[in-house]
Amino acid sequence: MDLGLKGAAVLVTGASSGVGLATAAALLAEGAHVAACARDGVRLEKALADLPRAEGARLYTASCDVLDQAQVETFVADAARELGGLAGVVNNAGRSLMARLAETTDDQWRDELHLKIFSVLHVVRAALPWLRAAANPAVVNVNAILARQPEPRLAATSAARAALLNLSTTLATELAEDGVRVNSVCLGLVDTGQWRRRYEASGSELSFVDWSAELAADRGIPLGRLGTAEEVAFPIVTLLSPRASYVTGATIDVGGGIARYV
């Protein structure tokens, strides 16, 4: 199916690995132009250098810390100039803090909330003039099932994710009058760099496949495995498509059935 993204310019944050990289790859394959950023510009360029792309698809990359408003404004303006505007934004930059309540300092609470909220606000504010001028503008915020189903082992991250989900709903309502759709994709456990690093740090004698299967069983994932970045990229790109033009304020879970809420 043609998703109608050929020639559309989409900005993707946190694009040097994992879900961000997979999303950039999927967009380029659809013929979209991609503006990709990450804090480590060298790593970003290396990761995206050999991605296949449809004929005419263009790629613009730059180092950018999404928590630095000035850097974000510069990146967005440069990307829009290079690609002829912006029709979409994927807010993907983020991390998780593995710590229970008693182990989390006040500074860590502030850092988690600051990252989850301002990594989105800075980008959306800067991109809004171009989104308003686009034919079918859309924003997708990459979030986590933790937003609705908190885990004690991720106390601050769970709370910050809930705040982002709330903000996403507000953005969807506020920006609807400008024709800008805002949706969320909430992840469960996905096989990205974070889980690979935790596996390596565990010193386990199991293969990663067996280790991650045990992890999936421990977390109660009905499908019995971790997800892949590509499986997350698909709904992100679908929500950016003009074919999803009546979808806003929605949340799609990609978690292998781990969600227990209705």
CB atoms near residue 218 (< 10 Å): 8
Instruction: Report yes or no: 83 and 27 within 8 Å, Cβ to Cβ.
Output: no
Q: What distance in Å separates the CA atoms of residue 74 and residue 255, rounded to the nearest whole number?
A: 35
Residue 225 has pLDDT above 80, yes or no: yes
- Indicate the pLDDT class of residue 193, thresholds 50, 70 and 90: confident
Intervals of CATH 3.40.50.720 along the chain: 9-188+229-254
Q: Which CATH superfamily is domain 9-188+229-254 in?
A: NAD(P)-binding Rossmann-like Domain (3.40.50.720)
Q: What is the pLDDT of residue 192?
A: 82
- Indicate the pLDDT class of residue 196, thresholds 50, 70 and 90: confident
Q: What is the pLDDT of residue 82?
A: 97
Q: Say which DSSP state 5 is in.
A: -
Rg (the chain; Cα; Å): 18
Q: What is the pLDDT of residue 195?
A: 84
- E strand or H helix that includes residue 91: strand 88-91
CB atoms near residue 162 (< 10 Å): 18
Q: What distance in Å separates the CA atoms of residue 62 and residue 40, rounded to the nearest whole number?
A: 9
- Indicate the pLDDT class of residue 255, thresholds 50, 70 and 90: very high
Q: What is the pLDDT of residue 198?
A: 86
Written as one letter, the residue type at 179 is G
Give me the chain's average pLDDT, please: 96
Residue 144 has pLDDT above 80, yes or no: yes
Percent of the chain exceeding pLDDT 70 equals 100
Residue 250 has pLDDT above 90, yes or no: yes
Coil, helix or strand at residue 27:
helix
Helices (H), the chain: 18-29, 41-48, 69-83, 106-133, 155-175, 193-202, 208-219, 229-240
